[in-house]
């Protein structure tokens, strides 16, 4: 995965162990437990289309590849503790 130079970065969180509303539950738990803030993309979708974004978390300030790699590492470590 490569960070975008011109916009937010979406990371696939489909492997994270949660139930429905995955992006909301993931972002809420991830900030509390790993101190990494993410935005649940489903907040930008109508109820009819929220399912299109349920497997993603949005990170807005990841502009360097090493920061993206660190975020992916933190997600993997956090998920392995579940």
State the CATH number of the domain containing residue 46: 3.90.1150.10
Domain annotation covers residue 2:
no
Domain annotation covers residue 3:
no
Domain annotation covers residue 23:
yes
pTM above 0.75, yes or no: no
Asked if residue 69 has pLDDT above 50, the reply is yes
Asked if residue 62 has pLDDT above 80, the reply is no
Segment 13-40 mean pLDDT? 81
Range of the domain at 32: 9-80
Alpha helix ranges (H) inside 1-64: 22-34
Domain annotation covers residue 1:
no
The domain tally of the chain equals 1
DSSP element (H, E) containing 36: none
Q: How far is Cα 28 from Cα 40, in angstroms, rounded to an integer?
A: 9
Work out the pLDDT band at 49, boundaries 50, 70, 90: very high
Asked if residue 57 has pLDDT above 70, the reply is yes
Answer with the residue of higher pLDDT: 17 or 36. Answer: 36
Domain annotation covers residue 4:
no
Range from 4-13, 48-57, 65-74 carrying the lowest mean pLDDT: 4-13
């Amino acid at each position: 995965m490569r960070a975008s130079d011109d916009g937010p970065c979406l990371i696939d969180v489909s492997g994270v162990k949660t139930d429905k509303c995955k992006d909301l539950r993931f972002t809420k738990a991830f900030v509390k437990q790993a101190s990494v803030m993410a935005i649940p993309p489903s907040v930008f979708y109508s109820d009819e289309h929220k399912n299109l974004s349920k497997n993603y978390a949005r990170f807005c300030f990841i502009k360097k590849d090493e920061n993206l790699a660190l975020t992916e590492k933190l997600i993997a470590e956090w998920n392995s503790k579940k």
